[in-house]
Every structure is written in C-alpha cells, then in structure tokens.
Structure 1
Amino acid sequence: MQHHDQLAVLNNNESLILKLVHLHRLIKHHHPFVERIALALYDDATDVVRTFVYSGEQSALNHYQAKLADCYSLQEMASSQQPRLENDLSVFKDSHHRHALQIYKAGFRASYTLPMLWNQRLLGFVFFNAKTEGVFTEACMQELDVIGHLLSLVLFNEMTNVCTLMATLRSALDLTHSRDPETGNHLERMSRYSRLIARTTADRFGIDDHFIEHVFLFSPLHDLGKMAIPDSVLLKPGKLTEQEYQVMKGHSEVGLTLIDKLLVNYGLDGVGYINMLRNIVLHHHEAWDGSGYPFGLSGEAIPVEARIVAVADVFDALTSERPYKAAWSNADAFAKLKQLASVTLDPDCVAALLSNEAEIVDIQRSFEERKFG
C-alpha cells in the first residue's frame, strides 16, 4: 500500500498561510473542535504582540495587537517558556486579563497556547482556539505540541529568508544613510507608522495580517535607490535644479533594479511578497492626483502598499529634525496631511494615521530623534 505524506506541503515553496491552513485541515480530522489557529509575533522593541497569520473564520482577533505587559497570561508564558491551557474561558468574562477577555469576546470558550522560541528568544505565540469548553485533553495537547513546534520552525524559516533579504538590502541602505541626513530612527518610526496605517485600513482595503506585517518589514527600503544618487544632488542643502530633480526622481527605478539584482544574486527570489517590496520601492512617490513619478499613476491605480508608505514617510519627514529644518509639531503635521489628502496622498491612509494619535506618540517616544551636531 502506498503511503501519502500529509506533511509534504511543508517542503514546498508555498506561503506560510497556505501551510498553516493545510495543517489546520489535518488537525480538524482528529480534533474538529479546533476552530482557529493563529500565530502572533512579538516585537521586543515596542513590547507589542500582534496577529501575523491565522486559519479559521474571521473574528475580532484579526488585526489584534496588545502590549505584552498588558497580557498577564502571555507574560507568564514568555517568562516560564511553557504552554498554557484555558479549558473554560468563561472565567475571564468579567476579568481584567486583556488577552483572555478578547478571546472570550471573540466567541471562543477554550484555548491552548504555546510560546514560539528560538535560542531562548521569544518569537511570538501559537494559539489553538475552540468554541466549546473542556475539549483540550492531554492526548490532544500532545498532538498540538508537535504542530505548534512545526509551525514555529516554518515561521522561523520564512522569517530567516526575509531577514537575510532585509539584512542584505539594509546593508546597502546603510551606505545611503551614511550620506543622507535621514536617521536610522526615521526608518524605525515610519515602518511602524506604515504598519499602523495598514492595520487601521485593513478592512477597507481587504488586506490581512500577513500583508500588514510585510508592509512593516519592507517599508524601510523605500529609498534604497538613493544609494546611486550623486552626493552633489543627494546632499544639496538648497532647492534642486530641474536637471538635479530629474536625477533624484530616478532613485525609484534604480531601487527596483538593485532589488532584482540582489534577489537573483543571493537566491532569494522565492521570498514571499516580493512584488510588494518592488511596488513600495518603485511607486512610493506616485501621487493620488497623478502628479507623482515615475509613471504618473493616480488614485487606486497606485499599489496600496505604496500609498500607505507614502503617508508614513511624509509624516515622519515633517515631524523630524534635520540639519536644514526644525521638527514640526504633530498638530502642524496633521494639518499638512489633511491638506495633502486627496491631492498627493490617499485620503483613507491619511485618515487612518490621524485616528491613532496615541499610538503615534508611543512610537515617537520609543524611537526618539537623535540630535545633530
């Protein structure tokens, strides 16, 4: 009798989401009560846990994020590095335990959670959720432990490929920023503004948490092509001449060429969401009214990831100090973004950023501007 390897899909060059959906399907053959599996990532720079990918029906937990410090049960798991079983979530319906309460409000009544670790470092968590209480037995959890560790390895493999790509491109970007007056913290802030905009507009644009995370990962690379711009243009303190401006405008297409060469040279062309990276680099200077470059695209013809990054980049440029300008206040920058909405910037992306002032301030505190001089 020929045996069919049901885990062979893990060896394929499929996305993490497809692999998760396949594993969920296998689990439901034995444990049909497992309604949802989700992977959440941990960002130690901001102490934020956020949904990355999931399998199961839509729920209030999609696009969810919270501070680890505000989630008692997740904190305990991170500290002990041990899984946690909650076979009756109804005990949390009136509690102040934020994460458990969110799961209960989403309609789930039992949950089994494993921390994802690599060399003792917390990567995030795997959640197995059920809508019936008391269903997670010891035998069931032993099977889920295997699946959870498999998912951790698949996630680590995907993130390693992305990190290799990012390290390669960031090294090139560092050469640019050793010449360009923008700071490294600019990239940290604008990438988190990008994620904030993407998360807030997710339902409007029909994007999922996997997409949102890659916007965050790839947004710092938007100006990669500037490394090919001459110092006489890149570092000019005054207004550029028309000829110099045409040279500067070329950085978008130069950046795309650099990315494609590096992808081939390092064998990374199979990394997921590569077209998103290309779109961000090529189109982040397109304008809502069609006045941008390199192709004069307008409105929704501009890829959504580029529209998101454009708003994040403009806002941080306005609120950051440079050798040639003082930092604008958030209030003044908000007013300017409102002026630019529906002119050069996507109005939905502008509204999304402006609706999250508290998170903006939190990001600014976490990644303060370094002083020049």
Structure 2
Amino acid sequence: MYSFLNSKRSLKERLDLFVTSAQKIYPDIIGIAVTRMDEHDNLYSVYRSADYGDNFPTFISSISKSPRLSKMRTSLEPSIIDNMLSHQSSVKSIHFRLLQSNCISSMACPIYTNDTFIGVLFINAKVKDFFSEKINYFTTFSILITLLISDDFNNKKAFHSIVKTVLLLSHHKDPETQNHLKRVAEYSRLIGLYLAKKRKCDGDFVDSVYPVSYTHLRAH
C-alpha cells in the first residue's frame, strides 16, 4: 500500500500508485491534482489523475480570486468542500468543469516547503460529505503526498541552480552572454506559462522549459 513512497519511481508513478491505493479502499475517490504557483499567484497543474479527463484546468487564475485558496495560503491548513453543488465559489467555471467529472466533494491541501507556499494538492470524490467523515485518513495521506511533492520541488530547484551556475560560470568573462542566457530562459518560462493558460501545454513543460533553455543556448 505504501509502495508509492519508493524513491526509485518517478513522481508521476508514485502519485498514480497513491490514487490506485486510495481507490481500492475508497472507490468514490476520483483522484488528485497537483498544482504549482507562479510569481503572479496563478496555479498551473503539474499532475492530475486520469479520471478527471480534461476537466481539471491546466491553469487557474490568481488564487486571490478564490477566498478559499487565499485563506488556505495564509493558514497553511487544508480546506474541505462537502458539496460542490451548493458551494458558492468565486471561481465558478472551475467548479463547473469539476462537476462534469462528478466531483461532488473536495479537499484542498497546501503544498509548502520551508514554510513557503508553493502550490495546492486537490483531492476529489463522487459523493458529498466524503472528506469530513474520513478526515484523519486523508489528512495523513495529504501530508505524505505533499512531502513527496515538496521533496521533488526541492530536488528540481537544486538541479536547476546547479545547471544555471555551471553555465553562467562558463561565461564569467562575458557578462553580455550571461545576461542573454537569463533573458532567454525567463522569456521561455513566461511563454510556457502563457501556453499553459491557453491549454496548449501542461505543467511539466512549464517546469522543464527554464533549465532546458539554458542548456540549449549553451549547446549553441
């Protein structure tokens, strides 16, 4: 049941196993979605379970538009919606899309590392009052999953920093090339976020485009 903790598996594989394990115990679980936050407080999904289909949004506008997510960002405490059919949300279009995948109840958990908020883990189920009745179980699993995600985030961040440092050091006598690398990498990331907003790419692309742009430029 806890094989999703195996570090030899990719993060996606471990998250897929988490969903499978949870669904064996609670068949009403639809799945989970993991989102990351950009510098403008927008969320973009980097993982979503297959059962959402295309109904979990790739890009969610600024969390300041959602009182629920804004409060969670400050409190770093999970938030539960027992019945999305009756919940009045400021981001109604998102809830409408989730309802199309029969998401009736929702549990949102903050993802943070070193007390810094970096995203949200969403868990959805097909019946109302689902998470309130099983709060201990899903609080435990949400903690395990957010630990996996924050660990993956920190590993990627460290790798990106190493790549960036090595490549910039190779141009330490050429400040203009350094600045060019920075500009193109930043532009690449912004284009990735724009494409995610237009549903033209996924969050994995957004996460990888920044360091890849450095490497590509160095190769040329």
TM range (shorter): 0.7 to 0.9
The match for 2:191 among 190, 193, 198 is 193
Q: How far did residue 13 of structure 1 move? A: 1.8
In structure 2, what is the Cα distance between the partners aligned to 1:56 and 1:197? Answer: 21
1:154 equivalent in alignment to 2:152: no
Q: How far did residue 84 of structure 1 move? A: 0.7
How does the TM-score come out when normalised to structure 1?
A: 0.52
Q: How far did residue 215 of structure 1 move? A: 2.9
1:54 equivalent in alignment to 2:15: no
Q: How far did residue 143 of structure 1 move? A: 1.1
Structure 2: which 5+ residue stretches go unaligned? Answer: none
Deviations 1:264-301 (A, max 9, x none): xxxxxxxxxxxxxxxxxxxxxxxxxxxxxxxxxxxxxx
1:97 equivalent in alignment to 2:95: no
Q: How far did residue 26 of structure 1 move? A: 0.9
SS of equivalent residue, structure 1 residue 174: helix
1:181-220 matches, within 5 Å, as 182=180, 184-197=182-195, 200=198, 202=200, 208-220=202-214
Q: How far did residue 123 of structure 1 move? A: 1.7
Pair 14,184 (structure 1): closer, same or farther in 2 beyond 3 Å: same
Q: How far did residue 201 of structure 1 move? A: 6.1
More strand per residue: 2
- Partner of residue 22, structure 1: 17
Structure 1: which amino acid aligns with 2:98? A
1:120 equivalent in alignment to 2:112: no
- In the alignment of these two chains, the number of paired residues is 212
1:328-367 matches, within 5 Å, as none
SS of equivalent residue, structure 2 residue 185: helix
The answer to whether the 8 A contact 2:109-2:142 is kept is yes
Pair 70,166 (structure 1): closer, same or farther in 2 beyond 3 Å: same
1:87 equivalent in alignment to 2:85: no
4+ runs of 1 displaced by more than 6 Å? none
Pair 213,103 (structure 1): closer, same or farther in 2 beyond 3 Å: farther
The answer to whether the 8 A contact 1:89-1:109 is kept is yes
The match for 1:36 among 31, 34, 56 is 31
In structure 1, what is the Cα distance between the partners aligned to 2:114 and 2:22? Answer: 27
Pair 85,198 (structure 1): closer, same or farther in 2 beyond 3 Å: closer
Pair 182,62 (structure 1): closer, same or farther in 2 beyond 3 Å: same
Percentage of identical aligned residues: 18
The answer to whether the 8 A contact 2:58-2:196 is kept is no
How does the TM-score come out when normalised to structure 2?
A: 0.84
In structure 2, what is the Cα distance between the partners aligned to 1:16 and 1:28? Answer: 18
The answer to whether the 8 A contact 2:4-2:15 is kept is no
In structure 1, what is the Cα distance between the partners aligned to 2:5 and 2:104? Answer: 30
Larger relative contact order (Cα-Cα within 8 Å, sequence gap ≥ 6): 2
